[in-house]
């Protein structure tokens, strides 16, 4: 359920906006940046991608190098699995990043590190300790065998806990065992540097407990990646269905109920081509909290779905100039209740939303959502905010 993509490459049209740190790194490495115009009318430094390696993109996210990712498609149905895989990749990237930050905070607060800092003020360890990436890589390489042994010391007791837990099904046990190993593999080099440095000290067992507690916590959080991805796909599919139905009515007047025409693959292909020609796309944006200028917001993720129509630019300009556009705002539950029923889609959306709400509450993830609609156009902006 919670596996990340196994494909070597994913094919989705992405705009990847970089954080200040990410842009600086790209410039230092002589990588070309583009000026990107995003759907919310902002301009960002970044890159465009049509095909990409998911793991390479995940590494950029883990380094806090990415501030926003945007994808635009006329329809999501044919790319359903790619969209789900990509959404899960982003959610897990956030979880891996927050897990590593939490472990670092707790390690630095451990007695063994505090004792060292008191005794060696000139070799003080905190979250601002300047250790070069080259030094960290050298330590990881030199002590690779020792780190593998430490991983087993961390994982073996947790694996035994999971297997003994009678509340878990066999499938859940297998999922959790794989999940904690994956989380541990994403622990930052600075964390491993601290763990290796103090591995011969008397307080080392406390450090092992810190990592185990982090894994216990994030093992549960990892289960919501599927719910978020299904919820996102459901929202995007609803927007897609609305756009296609509107276009079908324009293209095939007199053919009866327009929804029936959408099941014809030839007709559907023609409608999609017309949506592309008119630039009537559905946009999905993932905005990451993080970077050195976002203290306290590193664990935030905002997912926004924009259903953009021809009047978007005029509406946006009006909002920016007058700041008094007539807006209506409702929560996501009301949004789904008010949708016209299209083959049970409304019920499906509420079903996913109910599970997402419950799953977030159970693992202490903050979740909020709202829908903004511009009264002067058909533009709908759907926001889902998560605090990991």
Return the pLDDT at 246. 84
**pLDDT at residue number 332:** 80
Mean pLDDT by 10 residues, the chain (388 residues): 60 96 94 93 94 94 95 92 95 96 96 95 91 93 97 98 96 95 96 96 95 95 92 90 85 61 80 92 90 63 82 43 48 73 63 86 92 68 92
pLDDT, position 113 = 96
Name the pTM for this structure. 0.86
Provide the Cα torsion 90, 96, 99, 103; round to 10°: -150
pLDDT at 328: 58
The pLDDT, as a whole number, for residue 93 is 96
pLDDT at 251: 84
Please report the pLDDT score of residue 225 as a whole number. 93
Contacts for 137 with CB less than 8 Å, ≥ 6 apart:
189
Q: What is the pLDDT of residue 241?
A: 86
Q: What is the pLDDT of residue 255?
A: 56
pLDDT of residue 316: 44
Report the pLDDT value the prediction gives residue 259, as an integer from 0 to 100. Answer: 58
Strand 43-52 relative to strand 66-73, pairing: unpaired
Q: Contact 125/262 with Cβ under 8 angstroms?
A: no
Q: Determine the pLDDT at residue 334.
A: 77
Residue 368 pLDDT: 92
pLDDT in tens, 53-71: 999 999 999 999 999 999 9
Signed CA dihedral, 130, 134, 136, 138: sign only: negative
């Amino acid at each position: 359920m919670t596996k990340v993509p196994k494909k070597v490459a994913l094919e989705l049209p992405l705009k990847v906006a970089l954080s200040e740190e990410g842009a600086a790194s790209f410039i230092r490495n002589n990588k070309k940046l583009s000026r990107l115009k995003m759907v919310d009318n902002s301009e960002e430094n970044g890159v465009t991608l049509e095909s990409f390696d998911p793991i390479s993109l995940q590494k950029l996210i883990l380094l806090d190098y990415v501030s926003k990712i945007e994808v635009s498609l006329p329809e999501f149905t044919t790319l359903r699995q790619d969209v789900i895989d990509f959404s899960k990749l982003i959610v897990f990237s956030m979880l891996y990043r927050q897990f590593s930050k939490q472990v670092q905070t707790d390690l630095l607060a451990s007695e063994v590190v505090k004792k060292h800092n008191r005794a060696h003020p000139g070799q003080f360890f905190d979250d601002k300790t300047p250790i070069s990436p080259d030094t960290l890589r050298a330590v990881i390489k030199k002590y690779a065998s020792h780190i593998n042994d430490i991983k087993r010391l961390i994982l073996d007791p947790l694996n035994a806990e999971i297997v003994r837990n009678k509340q878990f099904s066999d499938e859940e046990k297998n999922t959790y065992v794989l999940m904690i190993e994956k989380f541990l593999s994403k622990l930052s080099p600075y964390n491993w540097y601290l763990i290796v440095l103090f591995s011969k000290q008397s307080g080392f067992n406390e450090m092992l407990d810190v990592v185990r507690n982090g894994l216990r916590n994030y093992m549960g959080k990892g289960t919501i990646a599927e719910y978020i991805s299904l919820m996102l796909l459901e929202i995007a599919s609803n927007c897609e269905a609305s756009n296609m139905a509107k276009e079908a009515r324009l293209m095939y007047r007199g053919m009866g109920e327009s929804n029936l025409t959408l099941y014809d693959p030839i007709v559907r292909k023609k409608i999609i081509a017309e949506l592309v020609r008119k630039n009537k796309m559905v946009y999905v944006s993932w905005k990451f909290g993080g970077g050195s200028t976002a203290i306290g917001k590193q664990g935030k993720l905002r997912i926004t779905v924009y259903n953009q129509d021809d009047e978007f630019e005029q509406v946006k300009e009006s909002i920016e100039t007058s700041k008094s556009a007539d807006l209506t705002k409702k929560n996501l539950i009301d949004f789904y209740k008010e949708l016209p029923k299209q083959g049970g889609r409304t019920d499906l959306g509420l079903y996913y939303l109910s599970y997402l709400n419950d799953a977030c509450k159970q693992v202490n993830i903050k979740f909020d959502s709202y829908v903004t609609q511009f009264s002067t156009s058909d533009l709908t902006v759907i926001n889902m905010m998560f605090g990991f």
